[in-house]
Amino acid sequence: MITFFSLFNFSTITSYACSCAGPNTVEEELEQSSVVFSGKVVEIVDENKNKFKQSSADRLAVIFEVEEYWKGLNQKQITVYTERSSVSCGYEFNLNAEYLVYAHEANGALNVNRCSRTTPLVTAEEDISELEKGEKPIEQISNVNKGENHIPTENSTNNNKIYIILLILGLLIVGIYILRRIRK
């Protein structure tokens, strides 16, 4: 019995880094993407930047000033989300650099990963020639949660629930205290 349970304690855990099957063609990537645009990175928002504990899977919000788009949103500014590191399949964008971006929508957010054809604009000649002429954006809308630099996460939703529960408990304790004072 002891030998049987010890097998579980000494077993190894296998984990895999990001692995891509290979790049799609420009046509396939355009078809599969929700948004395709070229633009300049104007801001990178990292909510965990100053936290002691960080993960390669932390999400970053990357805000682009859009120059041209081929599919999706007709906006001058677009925010996409990616993981902090390429180890977690995140695309490592640089501030003030220009990119051709292929983004996929999931849970109401535009996401980019290193397995897509997203690339610096200076190396995107093949894609640009296949995509042909795009359109210039005209709408002045930002999709960064109504102007706030906040990355939606499960933790922020859970934190809000905890605050609401603590507020209700606090009000309940104050109510009980007041009732006891009135009865005396």
Same domain, 87 and 65: yes
Q: What tokens appear for 47 in the block?
A: 């909510």
3-state SS, residue 106: strand
- Amino acid identity, residue 63? I
Same domain, 21 and 99: yes
- Amino acid identity, residue 32? Q
Same domain, 11 and 42: yes
Can you tell me the distance from the alpha carbon of 173 to that of 179, in angstroms, rounded to the nearest whole number? 10
Same domain, 120 and 164: no
- Amino acid identity, residue 73? L
CA-wise closest residue to 75 among 151, 135, 119: 135
Q: Is a pLDDT exceeding 60 seen at residue 153?
A: no
Distance of CA 13 to the CA centre of its chain: 27
Q: What tokens appear for 52 in the block?
A: 């002691």
Same domain, 141 and 183: no
- Amino acid identity, residue 77? Q
pLDDT value of position 73:
79
Mean pLDDT of 33-55: 82
Same domain, 46 and 97: yes
pLDDT band of 85, cuts 50, 70, 90: low
Same domain, 86 and 164: no
Same domain, 143 and 128: yes
pLDDT band of 9, cuts 50, 70, 90: low
Total domains present in the chain: 2
Determine whether 61 is exposed, middle or buried from the number of CB atoms within 10 Å of its CB (0-12, 13-18, 19+). Answer: buried
Give the residue numbers spanning the domain of 183: 155-184
pLDDT band of 159, cuts 50, 70, 90: low
